């Protein structure tokens, strides 16, 4: 069922979602706020854009043009509907296209590439959701992480940044693929549900043709053992809602 939702307290910013498809997650909101937008970053693209949550949030952080690329027609139409509803059609463009095809026609074009990609490989014992749209959003049906790194390399300008979120248990593979594509990891921030739990997500910023030099940032701990929100996570939520 299609509905019009608020985006975690952002004033006058709403998004169309459909419970039969894939609704945005907190991962995307954290990524959209984590990504550093430099003054020189004039061209920005969000790959695997889903229903457009990241471009919508980025529109509150920059006045520059933002492109969202989404392979699924139904999700791309929802994203475009949200862009129109919020009066952002002059700033945000939603393109319904395979990321691999998009990258071939936008070589060396972008200063900043963001992505909240499918997290799970397609394997013999993979369990899929009954919803095709949710399966494509969660599993590497059309785009593996290796493909994603190759595409990011193609569309980034030299010294352009690639910022994304992924599962921590794939970190070694992630670092290998980044290095293979001349995307130098610059910042890593681990996300933990509690301090007792291992990291389950990781935010990474890499730079095309960047110099070697990696910073492991202070981790984001979301909750104390009693279930209450940590101060850092509370401040992040407050920043998101301001």
Q: What is the pLDDT of residues 78-97, one digit of tens each?
A: 999 999 999 999 999 999 99
Give residue for tokens 């900043």. 112
First to last CA, the chain: 29
Q: If we measure between CA atoms, which residue out of 198, 19, 46 comes closest to residue 113? A: 46
Average the pLDDT over 26-53 and give the result. 94
- 112's torsion region: left (phi>0), alpha (psi -120 to 50) or beta? beta
**Predicted local confidence at residue 236, as pLDDT:** 66
Residues 54-70: pLDDT tens digits?
999 999 999 999 999 99
To the question of pTM greater than 0.85 for the whole model, the response is: yes
115: which DSSP letter? E
Residue 130 or 175, more confident? 175
Whether the Cβ atoms of residue 91 and residue 61 lie closer than 8 Å to each other: no
Residue spans of beta strands (DSSP E) within 74-146: 92-96, 110-115
Torsion of CA 79, 192, 112, 55, to 10 degrees: 20
Residue 122, pLDDT above cutoff 90? no
Q: How confident is the model at residue 133 (pLDDT cuts 50, 70, 90)?
A: confident
Q: If we measure between CA atoms, which residue out of 110, 93, 103 comes closest to residue 40? A: 110
Q: How many CB atoms lie within 10 A of CB 242?
A: 9
**Predicted local confidence at residue 49, as pLDDT:** 96
Name the least confident of 77-81, 128-132, 146-150, 165-169. 128-132
**Predicted local confidence at residue 129, as pLDDT:** 67
**Predicted local confidence at residue 25, as pLDDT:** 74
Q: How many CB atoms lie within 10 A of CB 128?
A: 14
Tokens of 55: 């471009």
Tokens of 93: 């463009």
């Amino acid at each position: 069922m299609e509905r019009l939702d608020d985006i975690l307290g952002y004033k006058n910013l709403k998004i169309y979602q459909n419970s039969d498809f894939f609704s945005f997650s907190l991962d995307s909101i954290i990524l959209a706020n984590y990504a550093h937008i430099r003054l020189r970053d004039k061209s920005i693209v969000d790959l695997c854009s889903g229903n457009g949550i990241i471009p919508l949030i980025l529109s509150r952080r920059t006045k520059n043009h933002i492109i969202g690329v989404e392979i699924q027609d139904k999700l791309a139409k929802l994203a475009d509907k949200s862009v129109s509803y919020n009066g952002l059609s002059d700033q945000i463009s939603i393109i319904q296209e395979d990321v691999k095809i998009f990258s071939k026609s936008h070589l060396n074009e972008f200063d900043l590439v963001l992505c909240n990609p499918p997290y799970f490989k397609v394997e013999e014992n993979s369990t899929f959701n009954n919803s095709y749209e949710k399966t494509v959003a969660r599993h590497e049906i059309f785009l593996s992480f290796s493909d994603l790194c190759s595409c990011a390399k193609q569309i980034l300008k030299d010294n352009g940044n690639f910022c994304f979120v992924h599962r921590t248990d794939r970190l070694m593979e992630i670092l290998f693929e980044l290095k293979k594509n001349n995307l130098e990891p610059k910042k890593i921030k681990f996300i933990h549900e509690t301090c007792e739990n291992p990291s389950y997500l990781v935010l990474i910023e890499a730079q095309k043709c960047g110099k070697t030099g990696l910073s492991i940032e202070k981790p984001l701990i979301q909750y104390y053992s009693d279930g209450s929100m940590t101060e850092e996570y509370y401040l992040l939520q407050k920043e998101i809602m301001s």
